[in-house]
């Protein structure tokens, strides 16, 4: 009787490799698509609250209401911390 060299991998090892390959292929096909949700602009109420915080942080005083409002709007649109008084 002539014996050939044993295979490099056993049958169980080959089956495990095939299962792993199938699982990985399945996982690649099941990955969820990336969903990009548009960022909503800040509401007038949010801008008003932030503008009032900016007003108070700078010590108040008339004449800079528009500047406070525009700064609040920019900060909120940029996603800065609304509690910050920069």
User: What are the residue ranges of helices labelled H in 1-86?
Assistant: 11-29, 44-57, 65-78
Closest to 69 in 3D by CA, of 45, 41, 50, 43 = 50
Q: What is the pTM of this model?
A: 0.51
* Burial degree of 13 (CB within 10 A; 0-12, 13-18, 19+): exposed
CA distance 66 to 72: 10
Fill in the DSSP letter of residue 2.
-
Domain assignments of the chain as residue spans, ordered by start: 44-78
- Classified as helix, coil or strand, 29 is helix
Q: What is the pLDDT of residues 49-82, one digit of tens each?
A: 999 999 999 999 999 999 999 999 999 999 875 5
């Amino acid at each position: 009787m002539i014996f050939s060299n044993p295979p490099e991998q056993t049958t169980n090892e080959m089956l495990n490799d095939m299962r792993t390959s199938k699982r990985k292929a399945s996982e690649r096909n099941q990955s969820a698509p990336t969903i990009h949700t548009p960022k909503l602009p800040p509401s007038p109420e949010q801008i008003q609250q932030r503008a009032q915080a900016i007003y108070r942080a700078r010590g108040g005083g008339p004449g800079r209401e528009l500047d406070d409002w525009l700064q609040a709007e920019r900060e909120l649109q940029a996603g800065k911390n609304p509690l910050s008084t920069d």
